[in-house]
Amino acid sequence: MYPQSLCHTCRHRREIRNARGSTFWLCGLSRENPAYEKYPLQPVRVCNGYQSVDKTRGKNE
Ligand code: SF4
């Protein structure tokens, strides 16, 4: 969807598909921290909560 977005490679991203087949990205951090939008406006370019799914990479890489 948005390969240029941080959410694309973030371990907190959840993919949600509705009945009409549209796909949305839900930020898992929103459940525990109201500072994070449930469905962040894409593309996300800066995010303090970002954690790469690739554990060899650091924050905001
Ligand atoms: S923590 Fe940031 S980068 Fe990760 S899914 Fe949430 S909004 Fe996207």
The pTM score is: 0.84
36 lines ligand 1 (CB under 6 A): yes
With respect to residue 30, please indicate whether it lies within any of the assigned structural domains: yes
In which band, very low, low, confident or very high, does the pLDDT at 3 lie, cut at 50, 70 and 90?
confident
Residue 46 lies in a domain: yes
Distance CA 36, CA 28 (A): 9
For the stretch 7-20, pLDDT in tens is 999 999 999 999 99
Do the domain assignments include residue 25?
yes
Residue 5, in any domain of the structure: yes
Is residue 29 a part of any domain in this protein? yes
Nearest atom (ligand 1) to Cα of 30: 6
Ligand 1 contact via 5 beta carbon (within 6 Å)? no
What DSSP character marks residue 47?
-
Q: Decide if 59 is inside a domain.
A: no
Q: What is the mean pLDDT of residues 37-58?
A: 89
Distance 20 CA to ligand 1 centre (A): 24
Residue 14 within any structural domain of the chain? yes
**Residue-number span of the structural domain to which 36 is assigned:** 1-54
Residue 59 in contact with residue 9, Cβ under 8 Å? no
**Is residue 61 a part of any domain in this protein?**
no
Number of domains in the chain: 1
CA distances to 9, 25, 36, 60 from 50, rounded to whole Å, are: 9, 14, 11, 6
